[in-house]
Chain A
Amino acid sequence: DIVMTQSPDSLVVSLGERATINCKSSQNVLYSSNNKNYLAWYQHKPGQPPKLLVYWASARESGVPDRFSGSGSGTDFSLTISSLQAEDVAVYYCQQYYSNPRTFGQGTKLEIK
């Protein structure tokens, strides 16, 4: 199974500042035949279902604010929130879909300073 490891486990950032969450996979999730990274990011708020933010490592889902961006390739990825808003408080997960079983990172809890 591919193990996904996120860092940090928790993050405290001031409103308007940049927040960066990292995700490392134990195996390459870049599929050479199409040059796509099989990596997604989700936002999970208490009492709500997870919400897809980014897929293919850097493609933003429709309706997601452009302050959210994904980057990286191979085994190392990042989710960046360029200017933190109060509504961004949540737990963020990365997920690989290179192979079954699909696996998630352990989550990063983002809070406001």
Chain B
Amino acid sequence: EVQLLESGGGLVQPGGSLRLSCAASGFTFSTYAMSWVRQAPGKGLEWISVINYSAGTTYYAGSVKGRFTISRDNSKNTLYLQMNSLRADDTAIYYCAKDFWGDGSSSYFDYWGQGTLVTVSS
């Protein structure tokens, strides 16, 4: 059974940093691209970043480019999102999601974690 478990969310002040983790199990993590998708309160879903199976390719949404960094450790079956220069509008539930493909090209998401809440407020 595929499982994705996010952690690392919490309350952070504007301008601060936070690192999210997503522990994966139940599939061969090292062969699939992985994404982060967020949902701000009362808003819809927003894809923010993807990393391919080997960590050789990454893409970012314009809203986070230059502030967020996606990475992965295939030896630990774990996905990360380093979030810097956080703003109030980054407040959201952050989901990790498994891409259907491995290369990081655009894909749909066949499995999702339960999400972790990030609140940016003073």
**What is A's interface to B at a CB cutoff of 8 Å?**
1, 38, 40, 42, 44, 48-52, 55, 61, 91, 93, 95-107
Contact = CB atoms under 8 A, between A and B. Distances in A.
B115 A49 contact: yes
Contact of B44 (A38, A52, A98, A106): A106
7 contacts: A40-B108, A42-B109, A48-B114, A50-B37, A52-B108, A95-B109, A102-B35
A107 B106 contact: no
Nearest to A56: B108
Contact of B45 (A1, A101, A107): A107
Nearest to A47: B114
Given A97-B107, A100-B105, A101-B62, A50 B47 contact: no
A97 B106 contact: yes
Contacts, number: 63
Contacts of B112: 49-51
Nearest to A48: B114
Given A99-B106, A102-B106, A102-B107, A49 B44 contact: no
Interface in B68-122: 95, 100, 105-115
Mostly, the A contact residues are: loop
A26 B67 CA distance: 28
B34 interface: no
B115 A52 contact: no
Q: Select the residue from B108, B109, B111 with max chain A CB neighbours within 10 A.
A: B108
Contacts of B109: 40, 42, 50, 52, 95
A101 B47 contact: yes
B50 A49 contact: no
Contacts of A52: 108-111
Contacts of A102: 35, 47, 50, 106-108
